[in-house]
Amino acid sequence: KSLRIREVCSMAPILPVLVVEDAANARPLAEALVAGGLPALEVTLRTPAALDVIRAMADLPGSVVGAGTLVMPEDVRAAKDAGAQFGVSPGATDALIAACEAEGLPLLPGAVTASEAMRLLEKGYDILKFFPAEAAGGVPVLKALAAPLPQISFCPTGGISNANAREYLSLPNVICAGGSWVAPVKMVQGRDWAGIEALARQAAMLSANSAS
Ligand code: 3PG
């Protein structure tokens, strides 16, 4: 499971977190992000259209589309059926993990504390989402966790932008970072695909110094 999440997190320094209201925007949005150099995409299950959005993006060549905001075990089947190739959760529960393993959906589970991270490590998960990154203490917390838990890599998400991504990506225990800034809702609604491609290109030029 971690192996495939490692591949997803190694495709680019930034994993776009997408909140898409209108499935008609899904395909051009994904094309713009992929063209800009961000092939792994997280579609959050936060809009009624989310599963249709995943369906519309799933077969785009050169992209890997996952479902974010997995909370309940039933979200997992729906995401998988829509074509999601990986899942992301802000946290982790035994039921959610069991559902992902039963469905064969690689999971990027969320953890903030040492105990949360250690419980996931015991289950074989060594790449974890660190959410909400900025609100939970950001770079200093990740730096501190690297000392006792160097075998765990994080994908910090929440409050990250082009302005602070580089600082996160310079940490040895950060494999990639996630965020919605590369696809702002207003730009998606305005169908500003060239603008989104430019944001993606800028994000793709950031580089992860991950030792993992
Ligand atoms: C997530 O689900 O990962 C976050 O909501 C994304 O946070 P951001 O909008 O601050 O990038």
**Measuring from atom 5 of ligand 1, which residue has the nearest CA?**
158
**CB-based burial label for 135 (10 Å; 0-12, 13-18, 19+):** exposed
**β-pair partners for 64:** 40
Per-residue pLDDT at 67: 98
- What ipTM was reported for this prediction? 0.92
What phi-psi label fits residue 158: left (phi over 0), alpha (psi between -120 and 50 degrees) or beta? left
Which residue has the least CA distance to atom 8 on ligand 1? 158
Do residues 157 and 175 touch, judged by C-beta distance below 8 A? Answer: no
pLDDT tens per residue across all 212 residues of the chain? 455 999 999 999 999 999 999 999 999 999 999 999 999 999 999 999 999 999 999 999 999 999 999 999 999 999 999 999 999 999 999 999 999 999 999 999 999 999 999 999 999 999 999 999 999 999 999 999 999 999 999 999 999 999 999 999 999 999 999 999 999 999 999 999 999 999 999 999 998 654 43
Whose CA is closest to atom 9 on ligand 1?
180
Q: Is the CB of 45 under 6 A from ligand 1?
A: no
Q: Ligand 1 pocket: which of 18, 131, 181, 187 to mutate (most atoms <8 Å of CB)?
A: 131
Residue of 129, 134, 143, 186 with catalytic role:
129
- Contact 43 CB / ligand 1 (< 6 Å): no
**Residue 42 annotated to the active site:** yes
CB 41 near ligand 1, within 6 Å: no
Handedness of CA 51, 85, 106, 32 (dihedral sign): negative
pTM of the model: 0.95
Nearest CA to ligand 1 atom 4: 158
Ligand 1 in reach of 159 Cβ (< 6 A):
yes
89 lines ligand 1 (CB under 6 A): no
The predicted-structure confidence for 155-202, as pLDDT tens digits, reads as follows 999 999 999 999 999 999 999 999 999 999 999 999 999 999 999 999
Taking the CB of residue 104, how many other CB atoms lie within 10 A of it?
Answer: 9
Fold that domain 2-204 belongs to in CATH: TIM Barrel (3.20.20)
Whether residue 110 has its Cβ less than 6 Å from ligand 1: no
User: For residue 128, how far is its CA from the centre of ligand 1 (angstroms)?
Assistant: 15
- Where exactly are the structural domains of the chain? 2-204
Q: Verify whether ligand 1 is closer than 6 Å to residue 16 (CB atom).
A: no
- What pLDDT is attached to residue 38? 98
Structure tokens at 19: 């909140």
CB within 8 A of 89, min separation 6: which ones?
A: 68, 69, 70, 71, 96, 107, 108, 109, 110, 129
Q: Is 123 an annotated catalytic residue? A: no
